[in-house]
């Protein structure tokens, strides 16, 4: 498929949607390093350079997992639609989206950096952040959904009219599924933010139902991880086979995987609430079942991707049962093949993420790992693994194309994903072990459990060794990130030698035949809505009635501290 | 769809269904079940430690910034072999209530009650850890169950 030249506003918008969140990501990654060292007791302090541990943890989570991922998904979605449908983006829509996303991010960043929103990235009630945090987050989400409604859907419909007999390109299907999902899950999140958190923050209401807020948050919260993951899957299905010189093993399996994600990724949120009272365990078991079903498209992906890699390697002369594993372009300076290093490293990490994820989903098994360091290990190999590596690789790829330059410091760009991968394999194993030993997540262990001075109620010398191993993993990963930064900034500031364009290495399919099951979207959307209604009506009702005894007053984040709102209001009444 | 693809999907489906079957067996057969919604309304304002029968105890836990009120603050003592019912809630923000080396791993939610039952067979000290962020003193919020 040929490249699409880009210029003017379209080029600026896509490029800046990649670079702006990356600048923030640098801060997010460095704060991650601080957390890894603090959790090992190597840094024993409540803050570093004026940033409190939990303030830094909030920034680390919000920037890395929400801002970076959302901006990237929009930029990548824009580029995919433009490249696949060959129809220009609607610049008016894109500008409104850009202004909302950037403006919202700046508002939320101000609140977090000034200690007015030290509420972690899950911002559980009754903790209350400054109103700018909620409004900023809302603007970011609204901005991110606008291109879907006012650019991509109209452009897809127009493309359909012009190509009545053509199959919707696979990458376009994946992207539309992703943002359909995104729209559906923004609704419950917006409900708790706009009707509970924001009014509480502004003092319009005095109390809120915490359990209901949590149920609504996790209605959004787990499907969010698939919103991160689907762009990575698009790369695995449509680009990875081409990079190894082969074809996608099965087109309809890929389509089926995307549609199964749509169906199963939302009604699984109770698996984040296994340990909460107020919700019936029968419904938790139902969500556990659906969580296992959502593992299915990932299994399909594992098979299809491995089969595509094997097919490509055999075309390049691989022999024997496992010989193909040695014939892959792990370290290739040729053309775009460097991108393979990012995707394969991400896939290796995702193996760990998938297995630990099945443990987490496993209902009663979750009691052993819930909110321990194990969970932290898990998501650093999913969102911190495949998602981050594929996003970083694709950011570098697109920046080079959009600026019309060749990749600079290619060896560093090649080393980066492997360092990251090795670092996070070590990190994951270490955090799994400390998690099983009982070490909690979200805690500044260095000034408590790992400090001999903290007394016998707290001190846990048995966590020391593996916490240090975890810190070592974090350091290795950050070295990889620094290598990546050298290459990215070199590429960003290099002199252009070509026309700016958008181009992706798109694969053809080996098995092309399609079943009607995977070409018609409508029954899938209907089934999705039905399954959500079945799975969430009763838990939401229970959160509002049987499960809750009393509403709770808010606790405002003030200078990183949590202060009862009542006390604040009384203070302000004094002369 | 290609026949290898179909086989892979069938295999994956059987695998996850087998896992699910084992979970249901562990939950309902071996009684390792999750906290559920109490069938009656109960409100807990203060921590309490009560003996409700021979070697049976009921502990009302009120988590607060930054400690656990269980009748006594942060530490309780119980005899070996005791069966203990924990009713956990919070007085202010979200907290966690994880008793190390047991399946008691609960969220303390203001306005709601989370219930779990456990039998302490082995004597020793079991650390209670708050594992949900609850403000600047969160990392120091811990307690102890001493089984004698």
Q: Write out the DSSP string of A332-400.
A: --STTTTHHHHHHHHHHHHHHHHHHHHHHHSGGGHHHHTTBHHHHHHHHHIIIIIIHHHHHHHHHHHHH
pLDDT value at A575 more than 60: no
pLDDT value at A573 more than 80: no
Query: What is the predicted pLDDT for the residue at A574?
Result: 58
How distant is the Cα of B67 from the closest Cα of chain A, in angstroms?
A: 12
Give the nearest partner residue to B98 out of A371, A448, A542, using CB atoms: A371
Could you tell me if A101 and A70 are in contact, meaning their C-beta atoms sit under 8 angstroms apart? yes
Whether residue B75 is found in the same domain as residue B136: yes
Q: Rounded mean pLDDT of chain A?
A: 93
Whether residue B27 is found in the same domain as residue B62: no
Judge whether A160 counts as a catalytic residue.
no
- Asked, for residue A309, whether it belongs to a domain, the answer is no
Could you tell me if A484 and A412 are in contact, meaning their C-beta atoms sit under 8 angstroms apart? yes
Separation of alpha carbons A402 and A406, rounded Å: 11
Judge whether A370 counts as a catalytic residue.
no
Least confident of A160-169, A264-273, A507-516: A507-516
Separation of alpha carbons A396 and A495, rounded Å: 15
Which is higher by pLDDT, B28 or A573?
B28
Judged by DSSP in three states, A217 sits in helix
How distant is the Cα of A257 from the closest Cα of chain B, in angstroms?
A: 11
- Asked, for residue A226, whether it belongs to a domain, the answer is no
Asked if B20 and A54 come within 8 Å (Cβ–Cβ), the reply is: no
- Asked, for residue A257, whether it belongs to a domain, the answer is no
Whether residue B81 is found in the same domain as residue B120: yes
User: Hey, is the C-beta of B13 within 8 angstroms of any chain A C-beta?
Assistant: yes
Q: Which residues of B touch A460 (CB under 8 A)?
A: 127
Separation of alpha carbons A544 and A532, rounded Å: 18
Please, which pLDDT band fits residue A515 given cuts at 50, 70 and 90? confident
Alpha helices by DSSP H, listed for A210-280, are 210-221, 223-238, 240-243, 251-264
Separation of alpha carbons A429 and B6, rounded Å: 33
pLDDT value at A570 more than 80: no
Whether residue B28 is found in the same domain as residue B57: no
- Span A152-167, average pLDDT: 92
pTM of structure: 0.94
Which is higher by pLDDT, B40 or A569?
B40
pLDDT value at A435 more than 90: yes
- Asked, for residue B38, whether it belongs to a domain, the answer is no
Which is higher by pLDDT, A508 or A475?
A475
Q: Which residues of B touch A282 (CB under 8 A)?
A: 36
Whether residue B92 is found in the same domain as residue B125: yes
Mutate to test the interface with B, among A44, A277, A459, A467 (most CBs of B within 10 A): A277
Please, which pLDDT band fits residue A566 given cuts at 50, 70 and 90? confident
Whether residue B24 is found in the same domain as residue B95: no
Domain tally for chain A?
1
Per-window interface: A 250-279 vs B, CB < 8 A: 250, 252-253, 256, 273-279
Could you tell me which chain B residue has the CA closest to the CA of A287? B20
Q: Which residues of B touch A273 (CB under 8 A)?
A: 107
Asked if A564 and B92 come within 8 Å (Cβ–Cβ), the reply is: yes
- Asked, for residue A412, whether it belongs to a domain, the answer is yes
User: Hey, is the C-beta of B40 within 8 angstroms of any chain A C-beta?
Assistant: no
Could you tell me which chain B residue has the CA closest to the CA of A38? B139
pLDDT value at A30 more than 80: yes
Contacts of A550 (CB under 8 A, 6+ apart): B43, B110, B111
User: Tokens 């880009």 sit at which residue?
Assistant: A6
Judge whether A222 counts as a catalytic residue.
yes
Whether residue B93 is found in the same domain as residue B126: yes
Whether residue B60 is found in the same domain as residue B104: yes
Give the nearest partner residue to B132 out of A209, A371, A564, using CB atoms: A371
Whether residue B85 is found in the same domain as residue B126: yes
pLDDT value at A431 more than 90: yes
- Asked, for residue A182, whether it belongs to a domain, the answer is no
Per-window interface: B 51-110 vs A, CB < 8 A: 65, 74-75, 88, 92-94, 96, 98, 100-101, 103, 105-107, 109-110
Query: What is the predicted pLDDT for the residue at A318?
Result: 84
How distant is the Cα of A253 from the closest Cα of chain B, in angstroms?
A: 7
Structure tokens at A100: 């909302």
pLDDT tens-digit profile of A317-327? 888 888 888 88
Please, which pLDDT band fits residue A200 given cuts at 50, 70 and 90? very high
How distant is the Cα of A308 from the closest Cα of chain B, in angstroms?
A: 12
Per-window interface: A 53-72 vs B, CB < 8 A: 54, 57
Domain range for B62 is 48-147
Query: What is the predicted pLDDT for the residue at A507?
Result: 85
Separation of alpha carbons A295 and A225, rounded Å: 13
Per-window interface: A 429-468 vs B, CB < 8 A: 438, 440-445, 447-449, 454, 457-458, 460
**What are residue B68's phi and psi, to 5 degrees?**
-120, 120
Domain range for A454 is 368-503
pLDDT value at A511 more than 90: no
Please, which pLDDT band fits residue B39 given cuts at 50, 70 and 90? confident
pLDDT tens-digit profile of A100-125? 999 999 999 999 999 999 999 999 99
How distant is the Cα of A550 from the closest Cα of chain B, in angstroms?
A: 4
Judge whether A468 counts as a catalytic residue.
no
Judge whether A226 counts as a catalytic residue.
yes
Mutate to test the interface with B, among A46, A367, A455, A518 (most CBs of B within 10 A): A367
Whether residue B82 is found in the same domain as residue B140: yes
- Span A370-396, average pLDDT: 96
Domain tally for chain B?
2
Asked if A550 and B36 come within 8 Å (Cβ–Cβ), the reply is: no
pLDDT value at A522 more than 90: no
Query: What is the predicted pLDDT for the residue at B55?
Result: 92
Q: Which residues of B touch A293 (CB under 8 A)?
A: 16
Whether residue B122 is found in the same domain as residue B84: yes
How distant is the Cα of A552 from the closest Cα of chain B, in angstroms?
A: 6
Whether residue B25 is found in the same domain as residue B59: no
- Asked, for residue B7, whether it belongs to a domain, the answer is yes
- Span A177-205, average pLDDT: 95
Query: What is the predicted pLDDT for the residue at B32?
Result: 87
Asked if A126 and B92 come within 8 Å (Cβ–Cβ), the reply is: yes
- Asked, for residue A279, whether it belongs to a domain, the answer is no
Structure tokens at B3: 């026949």
- Span A383-400, average pLDDT: 96
- Asked, for residue B42, whether it belongs to a domain, the answer is no
Please, which pLDDT band fits residue B30 given cuts at 50, 70 and 90? confident
Query: What is the predicted pLDDT for the residue at A572?
Result: 66
Q: Which residues of B touch A445 (CB under 8 A)?
A: 139
Give the nearest partner residue to B32 out of A126, A279, A364, using CB atoms: A364
Structure tokens at A250: 């099965």
Asked if A279 and B12 come within 8 Å (Cβ–Cβ), the reply is: no
- Asked, for residue B96, whether it belongs to a domain, the answer is yes
Query: What is the predicted pLDDT for the residue at A177?
Result: 94
- Asked, for residue A390, whether it belongs to a domain, the answer is yes
pLDDT value at A306 more than 80: yes
Judge whether A379 counts as a catalytic residue.
yes
- Asked, for residue A94, whether it belongs to a domain, the answer is no
- Rounded to whole angstroms, the maximal C-alpha distance in chain B is 65
Could you tell me if A343 and A236 are in contact, meaning their C-beta atoms sit under 8 angstroms apart? yes
User: Hey, is the C-beta of A355 within 8 angstroms of any chain B C-beta?
Assistant: no
- Asked, for residue B40, whether it belongs to a domain, the answer is no
Could you tell me if A373 and B129 are in contact, meaning their C-beta atoms sit under 8 angstroms apart? no
Catalytic residue among A340, A379, A427, A536: A379
How distant is the Cα of B13 from the closest Cα of chain A, in angstroms?
A: 7
Catalytic residue among A39, A60, A83, A222: A222
Query: What is the predicted pLDDT for the residue at B121?
Result: 93
Q: Which residues of A touch B6 (CB under 8 A)?
A: none
My answer on whether omega of the bond before A126 falls inside 30° of 0, hence cis, is yes
Query: What is the predicted pLDDT for the residue at A1?
Result: 62
Could you tell me if A245 and A398 are in contact, meaning their C-beta atoms sit under 8 angstroms apart? no
């Amino acid at each position: 498929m040929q490249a699409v030249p880009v210029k003017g506003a379209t080029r600026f918008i896509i490029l800046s949607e990649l670079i702006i969140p990356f600048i923030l990501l640098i801060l997010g990654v460095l704060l991650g390093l601080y957390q890894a060292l603090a959790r090992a007791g190597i840094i024993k302090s409540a803050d570093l350079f004026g940033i409190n541990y939990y303030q830094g943890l909030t920034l680390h989570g919000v920037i890395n997992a929400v801002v970076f991922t959302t901006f990237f998904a929009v930029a990548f979605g824009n580029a995919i639609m433009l490249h696949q449908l060959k129809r220009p983006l609607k610049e008016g829509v894109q500008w409104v989206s850009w202004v909302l996303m950037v403006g919202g991010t700046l508002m939320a960043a101000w609140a977090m950096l000034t200690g007015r929103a030290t509420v972690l990235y899950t911002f559980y009630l009754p903790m209350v952040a400054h109103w700018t945090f909620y409004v900023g987050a809302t603007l970011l989400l609204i901005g991110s959904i606008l291109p879907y409604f006012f650019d991509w859907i109209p452009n897809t419909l127009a493309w359909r009219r012009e190509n009545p007999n053509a199959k919707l390109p696979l990458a376009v299907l994946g992207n539309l599924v992703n943002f359909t999902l995104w729209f559906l899950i923004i609704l419950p999140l917006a409900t708790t933010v706009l009707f509970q958190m924001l009014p509480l923050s502004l003092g319009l209401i005095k109390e809120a139902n915490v359990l209901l807020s949590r149920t609504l948050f996790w209605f959004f919260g787990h499907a969010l991880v698939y919103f991160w993951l689907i762009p990575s899957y698009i790369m695995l299905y449509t680009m990875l086979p081409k990079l190894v010189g082969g074809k996608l093993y099965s087109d309809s399996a890929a389509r089926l995987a995307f549609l199964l994600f749509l169906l199963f990724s939302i009604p699984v949120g109770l698996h984040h609430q296994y340990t909460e009272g107020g919700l019936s365990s029968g419904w938790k078991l139902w969500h556990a079942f659906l969580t296992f079903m959502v593992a299915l498209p990932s299994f399909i992906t594992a098979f299809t991707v491995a089969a595509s890699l094997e097919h490509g390697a055999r075309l390049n002369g691989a022999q024997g049962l496992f010989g193909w594993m040695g014939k892959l372009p792990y370290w290739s300076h040729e053309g775009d093949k460097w991108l393979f290093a990012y995707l394969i490293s991400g896939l290796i990490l995702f193996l760990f993420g998938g297995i630990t994820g099945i443990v987490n989903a496993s209902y009663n098994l979750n009691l052993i790992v819930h909110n321990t360091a194990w969970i932290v290990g898990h998501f650093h190999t999913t969102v911190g693994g495949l998602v981050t590596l594929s996003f970083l690789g694709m950011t570098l790829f697109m920046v080079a194309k959009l600026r019309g330059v060749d990749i600079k410091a290619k060896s560093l760009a090649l080393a980066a994903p492997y360092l990251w991968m090795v670092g996070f394999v070590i990190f994951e194993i270490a955090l799994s072990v400390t998690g099983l030993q009982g070490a909690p997540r979200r805690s500044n262990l260095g000034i408590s459990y790992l400090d001999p001075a903290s007394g016998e109620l707290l001190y846990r010398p048995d966590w020391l060794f593996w916490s240090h191993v975890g810190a070592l993993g974090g350091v290795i990963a950050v070295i990889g990130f620094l290598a990546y930064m050298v290459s990215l900034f070199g590429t960003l500031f290099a002199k252009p030698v070509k026309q700016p364009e958008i181009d992706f290495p798109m694969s053809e399919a080996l098995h092309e035949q399609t079943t009607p099951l995977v070409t018609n979207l409508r029954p899938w959307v209907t089934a999705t809505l039905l399954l959500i209604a079945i799975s969430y009506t009763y838990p939401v009702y229970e959160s509002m009635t049987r499960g809750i005894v009393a509403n709770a007053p808010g606790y405002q984040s003030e200078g990183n501290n949590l202060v009862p709102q009542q006390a604040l209001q009384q203070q302000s009444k004094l002369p | 769809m290609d026949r290898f693809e179909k086989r892979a999907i069938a295999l994956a489906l059987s695998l996850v269904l087998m896992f699910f079957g084992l979970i249901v067996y562990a939950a309902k057969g071996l009684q390792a079940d999750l906290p559920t919604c109490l069938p009656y309304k109960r409100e807990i304002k203060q921590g309490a430690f009560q003996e409700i029968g021979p070697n049976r105890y009921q502990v009302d836990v009120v988590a607060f910034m930054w400690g656990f009120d269980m009748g006594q603050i942060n530490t309780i003592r119980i005899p070996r072999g005791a069966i203990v019912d924990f009713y956990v809630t919070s007085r202010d923000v979200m907290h966690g209530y994880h008793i190390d080396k047991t399946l008691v791993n609960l969220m303390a939610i203001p306005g709601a009650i989370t219930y779990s039952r456990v039998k302490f067979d082995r004597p020793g000290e079991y650390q209670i850890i708050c594992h949900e962020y609850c403000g600047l003193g969160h990392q120091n919020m811990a307690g102890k169950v001493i089984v004698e």
